[in-house]
Amino acid sequence: MVSLRDETMSPAAQPTAVPQKPSARLNPIRNAPNLLTLLRICLVPFLVAAILEGHYKIGFALFVAAGLTDALDGAMARVLKQRSVLGQYLDPVADKLLLSALFLVLLYKGQMPVTVTVLVFGRDVGILLVAALLYMVVGRREFYPSIFGKANTIAQICAVAAVLLHHLTVADWVVICEKVALDATIALTVISGFHYAWIVSRRMGAPHPMAPAK
């Protein structure tokens, strides 16, 4: 579902975009990764509406479809060697928009624990604020995803999928997966949050690249 390389929504963490010729920009095949990302964004309101109206089968199907578009756009970007600036910004925005909307609507429906939702949003907001602070104070834009952040993204996806699936079946394995995924989301959210804080403390203490040598 979510591209792990984009977990922190930092375009600078992605490979440098290669300037495209006008003909390449107009080629629908080469633009397919960005079109799939836009499709994922367009699926969000339909997914939210389906869950709000209690159509969990449709909601789960749309969630799977969104995951497929994410997997396909990443694969096509690698095959076509397409690394556009637009895609570097758009892909993480689409992923965060999708997950954030799902956590909120499931919380509203009483299906997602408040603790999990608060921790997930608190961590994401904290990362955004710290990234902005790093840029303003030391002029650093790089904020690479950590292994804990990637694991947290996987846990969030599994948690949302398990909660939706629980409405379609009450099989024991689904209940167990839901509990494990939610617990893992809580643990990894806290761990990745502290890990990012440690990374920031190191960067804040590092010399500014433009600072004169002593």
Q: Is the pTM of this model over 0.85?
A: no
Indicate whether 78 belongs to any domain.
yes
CA distances to 61, 97, 111, 212 from 164, rounded to whole Å, are 10, 18, 9, 55
Domain assignment present for residue 160? The answer is yes
Q: What is the C-alpha to C-alpha distance for residues 125 and 23, in angstroms, rounded to an integer?
A: 39
pLDDT digits (tens, 9 = 90+) for 35-48: 888 888 999 999 99
Residue 59 domain flag: yes
What's the pLDDT tens digit per position in 98-150? 999 999 999 999 999 999 999 999 988 887 787 777 667 666 555 566 788 88
Domain count, the chain: 1
CATH number of the structural domain spanning residue 199: 1.20.120.1760
Helix ranges restricted to H, 12-146: 22-26, 32-52, 56-79, 85-108, 114-138
Task: Evaluate whether residue 210 is within a structural domain.
Answer: no
Does 12 reside within a domain? yes
- The reply to whether 214 falls in a domain is no
Does residue 164 form part of some domain? yes
Q: Could you tell me if residue 211 is inside a domain? A: no
Range of the domain at 164: 4-205
pLDDT at 207: 55
The torsion angle over the Cα atoms of residues 197, 143, 40 and 79, rounded to 10 degrees, is -140
